[in-house]
Amino acid sequence: MRGINTHKTVIEPMAKNLFLAEGDLWKLLRQRMTPAFTSGKLKAMFPLIVERAERMQTHAINAPPTGRVLDSREIMARYTTDFIGACGFGLDMDSLTTENSSFRKLGMDIFKFEVSQIIKQMLKEMFPEACKHFRIFSKIEKDANALVKTILEKRNYEPSGRHDFVDLLLEYRKKGKIVGQSIEIMKSNGMPEEVSLELTEELITAQIMVFFGAGFETSSSSTSYTLHELAYNPEEQQKVQEEIDIVLAKYNNKLCYEAVSEMTYLHCAFKEGIRMFPSLGHLVRKCARKYTFPDLDLTIDEGVSILIPVQALHMDPLYFEEPEKFKPSRFLTDFINPLTKHIYLPFGEGPRACIGERLGLMQSLAGLAAVLSRYSVEPAPETLRHPIVDPTSNIVQMCCRWITFDV
């Protein structure tokens, strides 16, 4: 279990998404939504990724000529916002050229937690029954509901043929109730009860917003940090660029699904970037049933929350040699230490691993390839070598970093 929702029956609408849901709600949502992230659907979406990546190249060209300083995180956030708008909503948002994009603002609001929200969450954790009606996401609920309602009404609540995420959810809704075996309710003979779930507009809104929020923030954070490390490691940057040039030459210098799939060293550089600075610095899980580790004689009781310090594990010399160094080559071969397989967790692991891992990966790699195929990056005068994590960031850790795009 994720362990973030503190009450089993009273769950605020925006928290009924695949990331935060628990128990049967999570199982049925995951069951229905998994087919939306197959390699075939990813490949079909890829032209939309390429179109937004090429727009990002043009945006960099149009940067102010003096110094050519661009905020890497901001430009990557706008790129991913535009891509998710196209793939998720079927909308052309053009956040790269629209300074005050409403979608970019909504994306920032999703992860900008105010003091009042933090206090409410703490109270819900300490007094789940008394504070069960507290709403943490009320700040974005009104805008999210209005946005999704507008999109659904334009499509008359029917799939439009765009094959985006909204279409997929509407198709799933037409199939009727989601039916499956419960992981919470058992019959007297020990067999699971059959449970069902109707994909209401409220649930559709929650899934769309987590697709938007999780997709843009994690990708923009991880790609901009990878650019940050490449800026400070020009020899690694050169290796990545040489590979990009060689692969693109095979495809008439055009980004495509096959080309990005062949960029092995770029993939290694990105994996190393999210090793050093994973978007989720920690994972939280709640024990669903009492369990004892035989080798440790350690028992974890039902309902106990467990915090997994992902970044601390990624930077532990016990598992990664010279962990503070940016070394993409460590991902060219399997890790020597067999424990590392269960230590490297940028997308989580197990049944609750990130369902959109492949989509996020291809989106991020395409964005990096688009930038590095045309530009070299180097630290700007204002750049901090070791960016400071924003202490107000909550689920996804964020920091500010500047990089010069050298044309």
Q: What is the CATH number of the domain that holds 94?
A: 1.10.630.10
Mean of the per-residue pLDDT values of the chain: 83
Residue 35 confidence (pLDDT) above 90: no
Please identify which residue in the block is written with the tokens 């291809």.
362
Most confident of 35-39, 134-138, 174-178, 284-288: 174-178
Name the amino acid, one letter, at 127.
F
Is residue 319 situated within a structural domain? yes
**Nearest-angstrom CA–CA distance, 103 and 88:** 12
Would 70 be classed as within a structural domain? Answer: yes
Residue 47: pLDDT band (50, 70, 90) is: confident
Would you place residue 14 in the very low, low, confident or very high pLDDT band (cuts 50, 70, 90)?
Answer: confident
The mean pLDDT of 259-287, rounded to a whole number, is 92
Contact yes or no for 363/47 (Cβ under 8 A): no
**Known binding-site positions:** 354
Query: 315 pLDDT band (50/70/90 cuts)?
Result: very high
Q: Over the stretch 324-339, which tens digit does the pLDDT of each residue have?
A: 999 999 998 765 566 6
Q: For residue 387, tell me if it sits in a domain.
A: yes
- pLDDT at residue 89, as a whole number: 75
Q: Which of 84-93, 106-115, 189-198, 245-254 has the lowest mean pLDDT?
A: 106-115
Residue 3 counted as domain residue: no
- Among 267, 284, 393, 401, smallest CA distance to 348 is for 284
DSSP 8-state symbol, 89: I
pLDDT at 272: 95
- Return the amino acid letter for 291: Y
Could you give phi then psi for residue 296, rounded to 5 degrees?
A: -105, -10
Confidence of residue 274 (pLDDT cuts 50, 70, 90): very high
CA angle 217, 235, 70 (to 5 degrees): 40
Confidence at residue 229, expressed as pLDDT on a 0 to 100 scale = 95
Question: Which residues form the domain of 389?
Answer: 13-406
Query: Is residue 270 included in any domain, yes or no?
Result: yes
Q: What residue type is assigned to position 179 of the chain?
A: V
- Residues 71, 405: Cα–Cα separation, whole Å: 9
Q: How confident is the model at residue 61 (pLDDT cuts 50, 70, 90)?
A: low
Annotated binding site for heme: 354
Q: Name every residue whose Cβ is closer than 8 Å to that of residue 37 and which is 6 or more positions away in sequence.
A: 355, 356, 358, 359
Q: What percent of the chain has pLDDT over 90?
A: 24
Residue 7 domain-assigned?
no
Is there a domain that residue 2 lies in? no
Contact between 224 and 314 (Cβ < 8 Å):
no
CA distances from 213 to 6, 14, 85 (A): 21, 12, 11
Given a cut of 60, is residue 66 above it in pLDDT?
no
**If you average pLDDT over residues 383-398, what whole number do you get?**
74
pLDDT of residue 314: 94
Residues 6+ apart with CB under 8 A from 339: 319
Span 117-168, pLDDT tens digits: 777 777 877 777 777 777 777 777 787 888 888 888 888 888 887 777 888 8
Indicate whether 96 pLDDT > 70.
Answer: no
Report the C-alpha gap between 344 and 311 in whole angstroms: 9
The burial of 136, by beta-carbon neighbours within 10 Å (0-12 exposed, 13-18 middle, 19 or more buried), is given as: buried
pLDDT of residue 99 exceeding 70, the answer is: no
Is the pLDDT assigned to residue 242 strictly greater than 70? yes
> Is 91 or 19 the better-scoring residue by pLDDT?
19
25 CB contacts (<8 Å, ≥6 apart)?
11, 16, 197
pLDDT over 90 at 101, yes or no: no
pLDDT of amino acid 399: 65
E-only strand ranges, 210-342:
283-286, 291-293, 298-300, 305-308
How many Cα atoms within 13 Å fall on the side-chain side of residue 47? 4
- Portion of the chain with pLDDT greater than 70, in percent: 85
Lowest mean pLDDT among 63-77, 98-112, 207-221: 98-112
Would you state the pLDDT for residue 112?
66
Is residue 8, in this structure, part of any structural domain at all?
Answer: no
Q: What is the mean pLDDT of residues 373-380?
A: 89
The pLDDT value recorded for residue 403 is 60
Structure tokens at 199: 């994909």
pLDDT tens digits, residue range 282-301? 888 888 788 998 888 899 99
- For the chain, how many structural domains are there in total? 1
Please answer whether residues 325 and 228 qualify as being in contact, where contact means their C-beta atoms are separated by less than 8 angstroms: no
